[in-house]
Chains A and B, each alone.
Chain A
């Protein structure tokens, strides 16, 4: 099967600090990865599309300077939440598309709590 991992699974940080979340496709190459945010009892909201070797494409209303995305290889994308504030607390989920297909495989998510 196609496995996507995220690290860390949970992180607690102080307000004003930056947090990096990794998304890895473990057994396939992914030219495209996506980052979502999920609020309690709500749906997943697409934040940005991450393409290997190029700049991420952000959805309307998502601050690109606050949510830095780097897709440096075909198996790794990172999301850095800069100068985190309590309102950034959320569940962040990534997905990856196996190169040559259209199916998204999702990571287990990262719970971020900003104190």
Chain B
């Protein structure tokens, strides 16, 4: 079945460092891809999404490009801030509304 694999954390960075969180997927058909973020004590929030190959989703300085050839949707940010510390989830929907999540990657940014 469909699945999402993302790198284990925690990812620990200094402020203003470059961030990459890897995400690969397995799916039949053409899924939509998402990154969700969960800040401490809060619910998941949609960070960005891409619905077809080569689409780039972006929000709050974060970007991810839908790469069909490598079945990847890596999350990147050029300069992280302490306020970006959170858990990031990669997810897909494969033709239905059901979201399939990766295990989440905790990001810790230190000043």
Q: Using a CB–CB distance below 8 Å, which chain A residues touch chain B?
A: 4, 6, 32, 34, 41-44, 46, 49, 93, 95, 97, 102-109
Question: Residues of B contacting A102 with CB < 8 Å?
Answer: 32, 93, 97
Q: Tell whether A4 pairs with B43 under 8 Å between CB atoms, given A44-B89, A97-B97, A104-B97.
A: yes
The CA of A61 and the CA of B103, in the complex, are separated in Å by 19
Question: Residues of B contacting A108 with CB < 8 Å?
Answer: 41-43
Q: Pick the residue among B42, B46, B93, B103 that contacts A43 (CB under 8 A).
A: B103
Q: Using a CB–CB distance below 8 Å, which chain B residues touch chain A?
A: 32, 36, 41-46, 89, 93, 97-104
A66 to chain B, nearest CB (A): 21
The 4 nearest A-B residue pairs measured at CB: A106-B44, A106-B43, A108-B43, A43-B101
Indicate if the CB atoms of A32 and B89 lie closer than 8 Å.
Answer: no
Indicate if the CB atoms of B89 and A46 lie closer than 8 Å.
Answer: no
A-B contact pairs, 17 of them (CB 8 A): A34-B99, A41-B103, A41-B104, A43-B89, A43-B103, A44-B99, A46-B99, A49-B97, A49-B98, A102-B93, A102-B97, A104-B46, A104-B97, A106-B44, A108-B41, A108-B42, A108-B43
B25 to chain A, nearest CB (A): 13
Indicate if the CB atoms of B98 and A106 lie closer than 8 Å.
Answer: no
Q: Pick the residue among B43, B46, B98, B100 that contacts A109 (CB under 8 A).
A: B43
Q: Pick the residue among B41, B43, B46, B104 that contacts A103 (CB under 8 A).
A: B46
